[in-house]
A and B are shown apart, each in its own frame.
Chain A
Amino acid sequence: MSLKFYRRVAFGLSLNEKPDKDPLNWALNQLDTIPNLLWPGIIPTEKELRKKYGEWVYGDREVLRKKFKNDKHAYRKAKDELRIKTGERYFELNEHAIRHYQTKYSKQPVFERFWLFWGNHFAISEKDFLAEFSTGPYQREIIRPNMVKTFEEMVQSVTTSWCMIHHLDNSESFGPNSKKGIEWRETINENHARELLELHTVSPNAGYTQDDVIQLAYIMTGWAHKWDRKNLETGDIWFDQEMHQKGDKIVLGVKYKNDAKRELTKVIHDLATHPICIKFVSTKLCRHFITDEPTEDMINPVIEAWNKSNGSLIEIHKAVITQAYKHNESTHKFHPPEIWLMQLSRMFDLNIPLSSEKMNYSFSSKPNRRQRQLSWILREIGHSPYRAKQPNGWSDFEADWVSPELLLRRFWFSSVELPILVKSGNRSHDFILACLKNNFEDHENMASLIENFRFGTLDYDLGQKYGVICNLPGVLKA
């Protein structure tokens, strides 16, 4: 059994872990429960962070802009102070630490890989201050708890989450015949409805029309944040009947009777259990774990498990893992930069993330260089996880990740930055050899490529060794 399965569906093996006698069961057994978040530092709730978000936008928009409207420089200074006070520069760093600590130490790394997958399927792209305050807690509180429920339940939670509603502008969508729509002469914003169809559920394969998008947008009107003068757009999500489009709606040929907030539950049920949705999402799962172009014989068993279990994510995940195991030898899956980094961190016990004590923040000065380090690395290797450029998230295709600069960034990281992250007790050549042996069948060949540097323990020597090892085809891919 090839060791690459441990990188295919997880993050490779740390030196404390040994290959299991039954790798398939090892993986399948990790999917029934939600592992606790292990980060020993602070893990703020979504609500707490939304409050901070509110303080930041209120302070900037309602106070500073008015106070300093004639003094650009004073405004900039006051704004920087507000950034520090509200943690605008800090919370995303802490979220990255929580995430990478989890993928490094979790006893259920396979579960964690699915966590990353779903967070990206229901991606929150770079918009307003979501990455700074909200995307991290959304991943923890909306995506994670739903991973042992059904796909439909996941879609329900995501669609009515503050983060997604803000991301896709649903609070700005008014039924034109609703009370507020008439009073304020407002109309719909289609964005959220379109992405719910296109990205989250049925995909364009379902052949929906512009009319379907509009009708779904009508159904979704009213799902919005509560707005008030102090919290602005950061109030809780509720259903505002006065924004809701009256009358029956028809989406993909199905009629939804005028039924206020219950319309959304019904339409999500139909979308999330639609055969085209099931095929679309099953294909994406296979693409993520098996190969860029999954075949029917990989996808069909996942669809079968989906149908049999009425969309239970536990069963779906198990089917995907079973297929990944079955096709492990015959396929090669290229890993995007963040997963590559997580694997290096786990296999070679790198010093990331920073310890929770050192991540503590005083809200009185800018986060220091060490606190910014992990997030900076992620950005420089081209994969800052909460800053996808578009709502379709990060690509799962190799071609999107292979460009001269993106490959050079990996060489840069592994030869220049990585040596700084090697723990003082791990600088010997033997340590590297042990890690290689634990994770790669062809570890002897790999070792021969760094033989020239075997006696070197300076940062430069480590850089040469890791620069070679980390960019070998068998490390870039599993």
Chain B
Amino acid sequence: MNCTRRNFLIGGSTTLFLSGYFPKISFASMQKKNLIIISLRGGMDGLTAVPVIGDKRLKKLRKKLILEDVLNLNSDFGLHPKLEIFHKLWQTNQAAFVHATNIPYTGRSHFDGQNLMETGAHIPYKEKTGWLGRGLLASNIIGKGLAISLPMPLLLRGVPQNNNFFPSPDFVETNLIDQIYNEFNGEHNELIKSTLDTIRQRPLSMQIATDSDDRKKLALEAAKQLKDQSGPRVAVFDLDGFDTHAAQGGVDGAHADELEEVNKIVTILHENLGQAFDNTLILTLTEFGRTIKQNGGYGTEHGYGSAILMAGGLLKKSQIYTDWPGLKKKELFEGRDLNSTIDSRAIYNSAMSVCFNQDPEFLRKEVFWGDELPDLSQELFKI
């Protein structure tokens, strides 16, 4: 077994230091680039999604959560069988994974953790805007965010005029809005007023009633909007149910059901974005991973390090990017969780810099308060 720390770290950072940032002005960079974030609420288990098959300790600690039929990635890592689309895209350099990564949060609370994964901050509830919203604002990309959920996720807040798509069962006459629009006066009504502005500017296809329970239809419409050269540049999907304290299961358990949902969304996006998939990055986001050891209910507890699932034509190559910390007791975080050796915000910052054609150094300062986040664009993405 050779899964020891640093074996997998790919690409040095010295070259990066010297290279600086010179955005290429080419036809490719004129094309609209899409950044899609799928929030996996409840704590996605990186070791279920991308199990480390090269380490026997995992099987030993998870006797009731064994995965059979793991899809092969390389000699050390496999892929959960429900994540088929990622496996398919892996063959064409359009899927990759970052492992043993998380936001710098070790508190193990869903609510604090989800707040921080969206704000990108260090103190829960302190920031009222999301890193993605701030990134869009800093890049002067206004009104190009699309959330596939009924409430506006915190992640996208901070930039005005975002849209969301989760249609009501019947058509709504927007002339009603015109009749009351001028009644919204004063500072305390600004949020509603700017949201009404967004509604008034919606394309017709987003005004049609549909069945919002149907994730397929929502993902289809998202793909349609993202494909449009003048449409949104950012989309946020929201999935929950990853908090599997009990009956987590292996191939068909509760965690597998949730991974299957991720797989469905990415499959639909891939099929329907067409050429635009080449100019797209899809990244997952979660608040923490889960304990290595199974608990009393054959589930797992809140942990620390997790993984980021990535897909899209803007990936550099298929790879598992990790600074693997190992699973020996002393290598675990507080003796129980997979450690996080990469601040996941570095990946998000780099992804934004690629998709928004923006200097990562500038974004790091504007969005993440100048926190130490290495630029990983050259290692992970096509720039």
- Interface residues of chain A, those whose CB is within 8 Å of chain B, are 169, 172-174, 184, 186-191, 194, 198-199, 204, 210, 213, 332, 380, 382, 389-392, 398-409, 411-412, 415-416, 449, 464, 467-468, 471-473, 476-477
Contact = CB atoms under 8 A, between A and B. Distances in A.
A403 B150 contact: yes
Contact of A390 (B110, B162, B169, B185): B110
A406 B245 CA distance: 31
9 contacts: A194-B109, A332-B188, A380-B168, A380-B169, A390-B41, A401-B151, A405-B164, A449-B180, A468-B176
A186 B295 CA distance: 7
B21 interface: no
Q: Interface size for chain B: under 10, 10 to 19, 20 to 34, or 35 or more residues?
A: 35 or more
A132 B193 CA distance: 37
Contact of B192 (A210, A402, A412): A402
Nearest to B185: A473
A403 B152 contact: yes
A191 B297 CA distance: 12
A172 B112 contact: no
A412 B151 contact: no
A464 B124 CA distance: 43
A410 to B, nearest CB: 9
B297 A415 contact: no
B297 A169 contact: yes
A187 B109 contact: no
Interface in B96-148: 107-112, 114, 124, 128, 147
B196 A399 contact: no
A235 to B, nearest CB: 17
B80 interface: no
Contacts of A213: 108
A152 B106 CA distance: 30
A187 B245 CA distance: 12
B242 to A, nearest CB: 12
B137 to A, nearest CB: 16
Contacts of A411: 172-174, 176-177
Contacts of B147: 403
Contacts of B184: 473
Contact of A189 (B173, B185, B245): B245
Contacts of A403: 147, 149-152, 162, 164, 195
B199 interface: yes
Contacts of B173: 411, 415, 467
A449 B152 contact: no
Contacts of B202: 404
B176 A464 contact: yes
The dominant DSSP class at the A interface is: helix
Contact of B183 (A169, A398, A472): A472
B2 interface: no
Nearest to A389: B240
B30 to A, nearest CB: 29
Nearest to B125: A204
Contacts of A390: 41, 110-111, 114, 240
B189 interface: yes
Interface of B: 41, 107-112, 114, 124, 128, 147, 149-152, 157, 162-170, 172-174, 176-177, 179-180, 183-185, 188-189, 191-192, 195-196, 198-199, 202, 240, 245-246, 295-297, 301-302, 334
Nearest to B173: A415
A386 B41 CA distance: 19
In this complex, the member of A169, A391, A405, A407 whose beta carbon has the largest number of chain B beta carbons within 10 angstroms is A405
A184 B173 CA distance: 61
A181 to B, nearest CB: 9
Nearest to A176: B296
A467 B163 contact: no
B188 to A, nearest CB: 5
Contact of B334 (A187, A210, A404, A449): A210
A473 B296 contact: no
A188 B302 CA distance: 12
Contact of A408 (B114, B162, B168, B297): B168
A198 B196 contact: no
A392 B192 contact: no
A476 B188 CA distance: 12
A79 B127 CA distance: 46
Given A169-B245, A402-B152, A408-B172, 10 more contacts: A172-B297, A187-B295, A404-B164, A405-B167, A406-B152, A411-B172, A449-B183, A464-B176, A468-B179, A473-B185
A186 B299 CA distance: 12
Contact of A476 (B150, B192, B198): B192
A186 B165 contact: no
Contacts of B169: 380, 412
Contacts of A472: 180, 183
Chain A to chain B: the 4 pairs with minimum beta-carbon distance, closest first: A403-B152, A412-B168, A172-B297, A186-B296
Contacts of A476: 192
A190 B150 contact: no
Nearest to A413: B168
Nearest to A208: B107
Contacts of B152: 399-400, 402-404, 406
Contact of A473 (B112, B166, B183): B183
Nearest to B201: A404
Contacts of A194: 108-109, 302
Nearest to B170: A416
A404 B296 contact: no
Contacts of B150: 382, 403, 405-406, 409
Contacts of A172: 245-246, 295-297
Contacts of B180: 449, 468, 471-472
Contacts of A399: 128, 152, 157, 191
Given A173-B296, A399-B128, A407-B196, A199 B170 contact: no
Contact of B195 (A188, A210, A391, A404): A404
A187 B296 contact: yes
A84 to B, nearest CB: 21
A44 B367 CA distance: 53
Contacts of A471: 176, 180
A187 B301 CA distance: 11
A417 B41 CA distance: 33
Contacts of B185: 473
Contact of A404 (B199, B240, B246): B199
A329 to B, nearest CB: 13
B188 A189 contact: no
In this complex, the member of B164, B167, B179, B180 whose beta carbon has the largest number of chain A beta carbons within 10 angstroms is B180
Contacts of B166: 405
A188 B245 CA distance: 11
A334 to B, nearest CB: 8
A461 B184 CA distance: 23
